[in-house]
Structure 1
Amino acid sequence: MGRYRNPILPGCHPDPSICRWGDEFVLVTSTFEMLPGLPVHRSRDLVHWELAGHAVHRPGQLDLSSVPASGGLFAPTVRAHGGRLHVVCTVVGGNGRRGHFLVTASDPAGPWSDPVWFDGIEGIDPSLVFHDGRVWLHGTRLADPGDWPEQTEVWLRELDAATWAPIGDEHVLWRGALLGARWAEGPHLFHRAGRWLLLAAEGGTERDHAIVVAYADEITGPYAGDPGNPRLTHRDLGSRAELVDVGHADLVDDDDGRTWAVLLATRLVEGRRSLLARQTCLVPVEWEDGRPVFAPGVGRVALEVESEGVPEIATPPADGVSLGAAVQGSGTEWLDPEWNAVRRLPEEVVEFDGDGAVLLAGGCPPDRVGGLGFLGARLPGLRSLVRMRFSIERAHAGFAAGLMLRHSEAAHLTLLVEDGADARRIVTTVRSADGATRAIETAAPGDGGVVELRIEVDGFTATGTARVGDAPEIAIGTAEVWALGPDAAGGFLGVWAGALAVGDGVIRIDELEVRPLD
């Protein structure tokens, strides 16, 4: 009997999809407007995961430059076939090319191919299934006409196995398990025991999220819903649950024939969904009369799970990510793949100065959709530290730099050093999705030297401190940041934390870390 902790990945990792790859498991999750996109994790035991790379990882693959918050790369699916990994996904919003696309690779670490686009097929949440020499693409879209608002349908198209072009007729497979069900999404098809199983979610990706199942003799249907739908949900637990929003699952078998489901769920803090938002969890699945039983004997996604087939050790805490440890010498300088930028790749945002430091140029204000001067990582835990030591190398009027906790253009906290008319000052601003802005201004001694900024996050409280040169540490104060959580700010992502530069100027980052305090 083994033991592990949920979530199995630190920070915001929504919409998980999983497959077998030799003696490993490969897991891919959504990233929306963050780049590099679609992180590809690998594991041998389903509990300890390593970030191998990203399916969207180089300039020219996709254009997300005009994508607003919670647009961009929606729910991916990963499948292995013919010695290659296949990831299908959807680009939503922005002025670049949109719709469903496919990228492939011969290794989880990549390199991943340029996208193959499926033009003329609408919807989101695409998935692939390979069976008997044929390949099928399926996904979800709003039903037209629908029998009720936000009713969705799962569609299926066969693809030419050589060219990926859609062939044959389209088939509508599913319109939800329950009358009035919203957003039947995240569909995956599996062939088991001589029949087809359709796994989907419905109820929206919030408190009413649920996992449902349907069955058919042929891949094209007709599909009949499981009489026990929904097969897994926390919608009935209310705000006392430790995890809510349970849904969007995918299935995989291990070497011993056990079945597992990865799915998303959200931690609650003080009755509100946490700043980490939707995360990836794991539950065992058993089969009774051909029907999947999720978390057998419990029927819930627990924070700690005992099960056969996993190591006898709890999931270790995340180490966090440190910029100082990630910059390599010996003529090759690179960033840890955990670092992200917004709508741009990190290497398009920063430069190396040759002495182990990173130069970050200013960009647009954080409330605008554009070229943001931001380098950050997922907030890894309910209690986390964000710290940076930096100096301002060049600054023109209006330039500011420091730390940011970012949910979106509409919701973020910034702790910035600004050069005012009389003296340098440190200003903390919390922007809420309702347009409200709260600012705390602190004068800082000295106009030069190295600045160290820290933000400690504990649930929905952020505490800031600053030090300029050798001067004593300055207590900036605390701010309530529940406005950055999904209950207040909406959207599909949690909080990213890191360095921000705004305006015409450049900072030299000596140290930058984002790590858990739990």
Structure 2
Amino acid sequence: MFRNPILPGFYPDPSICRVGDDYYMVTSTFEYFPGVPIFHSKDLVHWRQLGHVLDRPSQLNLDGIPCSKGIYAPTLRYHDGVFYMITTMVESATSERKNFFVTATDPAGPWSDPYWLKDAPGIDPSLFFDDDGKAYYTGNRKPPSGQQYPKHMEIWLQELDLETKQLVGPKYSLWDGALKQAHAQEGPHLYKVNGWYYLLIAEGGTGFTHAVTVARSQSITGPYEPCKMNPILTHRHLGQNYGIVNVGHADIVETQNGEWWMVCLASRPYGGPYRNMGRETFLVPMAWENGWPVVNPGKGIVEWESARPNLPEHRWPTLPACDNFDAPELDLRWNFIRTPRGDFWSLSERPGYLRLRLKPETTTGTDNPSFVGRRQQHMSFSVRTALEFAPRSDNEAAGMILLQSSDFQYRLECGMSGDAAEIRLVMREQGEERVLASRPLPSASGLAPARLYLKAEAIGQSYHFYYATAAEAWEMLHEDADGTILSTDKAGGFVGAYVGLFASANGRTSSNYADFDWFEYLPVED
């Protein structure tokens, strides 16, 4: 048996491909940098991260990108010795969507700089390589004849010239979905199975009514016949209190043993209809009957536990729960908000520590703050760190942050109050801030103690915040804070919650810095 999700935490829009006995998968990253994590598996259940596809500023400029914009829905494909990752860059709520792809011969990189595609409207691009060697692009767009209802979209296709890296020839309208009132036809993937072209798409938006539908044709340009069993996968009929919700945006793969499997996104609400971890990656079996895909035959839903794929089990070494910042590079689980600008972080200036320099930028704007964070991956968890920081003025602060967006977050920070240092918990909800609790920090000079320990524990949606001036001598700062403000259901958007470290001069310049000796993230049993 295996247990879902196979990628817990904010890993939405999975796309998968197989090369021999190896499987590779990518997911969306929106405003976070590096972009598009790439994973490797031998058995479809256990995955290790190889790196990021977009790990250089020359590949990914996220300057000024609002929350939940940026990189949408990548597709990963392999053809003739080359890996292709194609995706959408969304600069704002109203701007044009820009589509591009990058290539690599090694999935661990390096990947090329982007090839930007001209006249490629819409989002969620995908690539398909036909038997004759031709390559095709699919995406979504507004129907040329006009939208018949709000968010009415269609899937379109055009040939891609692999030499010029541009779209060529006519555009073809393929399909506008099976669920006419479901809206938001997107996430197309093309496959060829037993002489038929299958078009798998997402419909109904990425919320509660999300669904997977399919159509087929004997010609790549259509016409496409919808499956009478559509949607072939959804959980909207199970109710909003079901443990796995908003299932959709799928990709499929055939194993070397002839089995078929589907990866898809879904969320795990808890403490009510609250999805703090955003959309995660799940695995579900699939079969073919009468020329159509049947998802999880006999059940038709994504389950918590399922029988494992018929592949040799292949586990990877367990990742450490504590990062002691002893390595020359940041662990692959760490991310920045937007493209990092300036030398604001270092692992070498003080070996064994992560040094964050205070920047004027904050975690409440659309700039690149002095922040590193990692995904929340469990409903209940504990995070701890050891901080050495001496604030010099009332605008300086550093510490731990639990972040959903620029307007919804908790900051457990060390700062100044008058002439003395203090520890405080700041809650930011709907863009408004208030200090939930504060305590003066003992110091004869008024500065912070030489070392300060910070801890946050979440038991479901109940969050508790602690501090200590001596190891393990924890003192409660605030008990039972509301964790639901870190859910997409209150904050909106498409990302999941992060936990991390920050340092800010809050609009001013500063030469100060904060040193973090270690950072620990542990799941906690409810």
Task: Report the TM-score range of the alignment, normalised by the length of the smaller protein.
Answer: over 0.9
What pairs with 1:218-297 in structure 2 (closer than 5 Å)? 218-297=219-298
Secondary structure at 1:456 match in 2: strand
Distance in 1 (CA, whole Å) between partners of 2:166 and 2:368 is: 35
What pairs with 1:40-59 in structure 2 (closer than 5 Å)? 40-59=38-57
Percent identity for Structure 1 against Structure 2: 37
Secondary structure at 1:236 match in 2: helix
Give, as a single letter, the amino acid of the residue that structure 2 aligns with 1:225: P
Gap runs ≥5 in structure 1: none
Distance in 1 (CA, whole Å) between partners of 2:383 and 2:356 is: 17
What is the Cα deviation at residue 348 of structure 1? 5.1
Can you list the C-alpha shifts for 1:111-156, whole angstroms capped at 9, x where unaligned?
Answer: 1111100022111100000111100011113345200011111111
Secondary structure at 1:70 match in 2: coil
Secondary structure at 2:240 match in 1: helix
Instruction: Report if the CA contact (8 A) 2:406-2:431 is conserved.
Output: no
Secondary structure at 1:124 match in 2: coil
Q: 1:492 maps to what in 2?
A: 494
Distance in 1 (CA, whole Å) between partners of 2:286 and 2:170 is: 34
Distance in 1 (CA, whole Å) between partners of 2:172 and 2:150 is: 22
Distance in 2 (CA, whole Å) between partners of 1:512 and 1:481 is: 21
Q: 1:514 maps to what in 2?
A: 521
Distance in 1 (CA, whole Å) between partners of 2:180 and 2:238 is: 21
Cα RMSD (Å): 2.2
Distance in 1 (CA, whole Å) between partners of 2:201 and 2:503 is: 42
What pairs with 1:61-210 in structure 2 (closer than 5 Å)? 61-93=59-91, 99-131=98-130, 132-143=132-143, 145-210=146-211
What is the Cα deviation at residue 194 of structure 1? 0.8
Give, as a single letter, the amino acid of the residue that structure 2 aligns with 1:123: G
Distance in 2 (CA, whole Å) between partners of 1:438 and 1:188 is: 48
State TM-score, norm by structure 2.
0.92
Moved more, 69-78 or 421-430: 421-430
Secondary structure at 1:277 match in 2: coil
Secondary structure at 2:307 match in 1: strand
Can you list the C-alpha shifts for 1:285-339, whole angstroms capped at 9, x where unaligned?
Answer: 00001110111111111111124515679x9997465331x532xxxx1111111
Q: 1:338 maps to what in 2?
A: 333
| 1:22 maps onto 2:20 in alignment | yes
Give, as a single letter, the amino acid of the residue that structure 2 aligns with 1:487: D
Alpha-carbon distance change, 96 to 224 in structure 1, aligned in 2, over 3 angstroms: closer
Distance in 1 (CA, whole Å) between partners of 2:39 and 2:151 is: 33
Alpha-carbon distance change, 471 to 281 in structure 1, aligned in 2, over 3 angstroms: closer
Secondary structure at 1:488 match in 2: helix
Select which of 419, 439, 442 maps to 2:439.
442
Alpha-carbon distance change, 288 to 250 in structure 1, aligned in 2, over 3 angstroms: same
What pairs with 1:427-506 in structure 2 (closer than 5 Å)? 427-433=424-430, 435=432, 437=434, 439-446=436-443, 447-469=448-470, 472-478=473-479, 479-503=481-505, 504=510, 505-506=512-513
What is the Cα deviation at residue 22 of structure 1? 2.6
What pairs with 1:352-371 in structure 2 (closer than 5 Å)? 352=347, 353-363=349-359, 364-371=361-368
What is the Cα deviation at residue 507 of structure 1? 0.3
Give, as a single letter, the amino acid of the residue that structure 2 aligns with 1:197: Y
**Would you say how many aligned residue pairs link Structure 1 and Structure 2?**
510
Instruction: Report if the CA contact (8 A) 2:340-2:368 is conserved.
Output: no
Select which of 379, 383, 404 maps to 2:380.
383
What is the Cα deviation at residue 165 of structure 1? 1.2
Secondary structure at 1:76 match in 2: strand
Secondary structure at 1:483 match in 2: helix
Gap runs ≥5 in structure 2: none
Distance in 2 (CA, whole Å) between partners of 1:158 and 1:35 is: 31
What is the Cα deviation at residue 98 of structure 1? 5.8
Secondary structure at 1:272 match in 2: coil
What is the Cα deviation at residue 224 of structure 1? 1.6
